[in-house]
Amino acid sequence: MRVLGLETSCDETAAAVIEIDAADTERPRARALSDVVHTQTEVHARFGGVVPELASRDHLQRALPVVDQALQQAQVTLADLDGIAVTCGPGLVGALLVGVQLAKSLALASGKPLVGTNHLEGHLLAALLSDDAPAPPFLGLVVSGGHTSLYEVAAIGSYKLLGSTLDDAAGEAFDKVAKLLGLPYPGGVHIDRLARTGDPKAHAFPRGLARRKRDQLDFSFSGLKTAVRVHVEEHGVPTGQALNDLCASFQEAVCDALTARAVRAARAARLERLVICGGVAANSRLRSLAQERCAADGIHLHLPAVKLCTDNGAMIALSGALRLARGQRASMDLTADPGLRL
């Protein structure tokens, strides 16, 4: 089965073609024939964050060229496809609508079946494109600019929310702290780079909800963000090694909270496998700390390749292909749902 996947939920315009043997529903064999991503970093950089209207306009300009490039790289035409998948939520409503309308147009013109997918499911299943693809059940930690959630994945298509952020998402906290420190957008990459030569114990920043019950699996990053702001107000924006130390201490607080709760959730749910996915899963300290803690607790850790952590079309094509294999189809009434739940 060959499926085209379209992703336009935020600030990446992405399309990919995957080839999949979905006969094994537990661990389907899939490979990406193409995976094209156009990022809008330059569009939003001067604003320090994503501007929804500008994101939608850029998707309108880039979507068709990105799809054409994905088809060319995969050496296929629309006629060669078995289906078209598109993210229909959650995300920015205007951005989502661009992808949904394009996917509907392509499906109508080609006569190929259409399916809408959930952006979060795409992230959770991205690890299935890796060589060490995990078979359910497993625990999934989705951590990105807009989402920080823990899911029990009983089977492909069966997800149970165990915990989520009560305020800021982890990626949002990275970007806001970076802006506070005068670092370029997107901030997470720059904090990660500076933190590599910083002291993570230089500042004792808080871990949100640390005093709650031990079975607490929710997250909170607003207090941490406030603590950094108060520090900057009292001491000014640091430079040189002091800036590196501040970045390392902030990053350690975020990664400590994420990995501690993920391991705790895996133990509580008696799951032997943990998948960490989403844009923040590309963070070097999160990856190394997760490896340390999972090794200590006997949990098998699965991390998608860095290019599969950020928003991409391959994860949407995979999610859509598995939905098509289960007989799901979308009508021409398909629309965007910015608050779509998994």
Domain ranges of the chain: 2-126+309-325, 134-303
Task: Indicate if 134-303 has the same CATH topology as 2-126+309-325.
Answer: yes
Chain-centroid distance of CA 198 in Å reads 26
Tokens 């050496």 belong to 75
Average confidence score pLDDT of the chain:
95
Residue 281 has pLDDT above 70, yes or no: yes
Residue 107 has pLDDT above 70, yes or no: yes
Of 51, 84, 48, 47, whose CA–CA distance to 324 is shortest?
A: 84
Of 156, 160, 151, 110, whose CA–CA distance to 134 is shortest?
A: 156
**Residue 57 contacts residue 97 (beta carbons within 8 Å):** no
Tokens 């949002």 belong to 172
Instruction: For domain 134-303, give the fold.
Output: Nucleotidyltransferase; domain 5 (3.30.420)
Instruction: Give per-residue pLDDT as tens, 128-142.
Output: 998 889 999 999 999
Instruction: Give per-residue pLDDT as tens, 60-103.
Output: 999 999 999 999 999 999 999 999 999 999 999 999 999 999 99
Q: What are phi and psi of 127, to 5 degrees?
A: -65, -20
Note the pLDDT of residue 3.
98
Instruction: Give the total residue count for the chain.
Output: 342
pLDDT band per the 50, 70, 90 thresholds, residue 215: low
Of 64, 108, 59, whose CA–CA distance to 84 is shortest?
A: 108
Q: How far apart are CA 25 and CA 233, in angstroms?
A: 54
Residue 314 has pLDDT above 90, yes or no: yes
Note the pLDDT of residue 100.
98
Q: What are phi and psi of 92, to 5 degrees?
A: -75, 125
Q: Looking at residues 182-193, what average pLDDT do you find?
A: 95
> Where in 95-242 does DSSP place strands (E)?
114-118, 138-143, 148-155, 158-164
Residue 24 has pLDDT above 80, yes or no: no
Q: What are phi and psi of 295, to 5 degrees?
A: -65, -40
Q: What is the pTM of this model?
A: 0.94
Chain-centroid distance of CA 210 in Å reads 25
Domain 2-126+309-325 has CATH 3.30.420.40: yes
Of 122, 59, 64, whose CA–CA distance to 95 is shortest?
A: 59
Percent of all residues in the chain with a pLDDT value above 90, rounded to a whole number: 91
Q: 284-297 and 187-195 helices cross at what angle (nearest 10)?
A: 70
Task: Label residue 209 left, alpha or beta by phi (over 0 means left) and psi (-120 to 50 means alpha).
Answer: left
Instruction: Give per-residue pLDDT as tens, 146-165.
Output: 999 999 999 999 999 999 99
pLDDT band per the 50, 70, 90 thresholds, residue 177: very high
- Integer distance in angstroms from the first to the last C-alpha of the chain? 24
Note the pLDDT of residue 132.
84
Quick one: CA torsion of 258, 262, 263, 265, rounded to 10 degrees?
Answer: 140
Percent of all residues in the chain with a pLDDT value above 70, rounded to a whole number: 98
Q: Looking at residues 7-26, what average pLDDT do you find?
A: 91
The larger pLDDT score, comparing residue 167 to residue 27, is at: 167
Note the pLDDT of residue 161.
97
Q: Looking at residues 9-30, what average pLDDT do you find?
A: 89
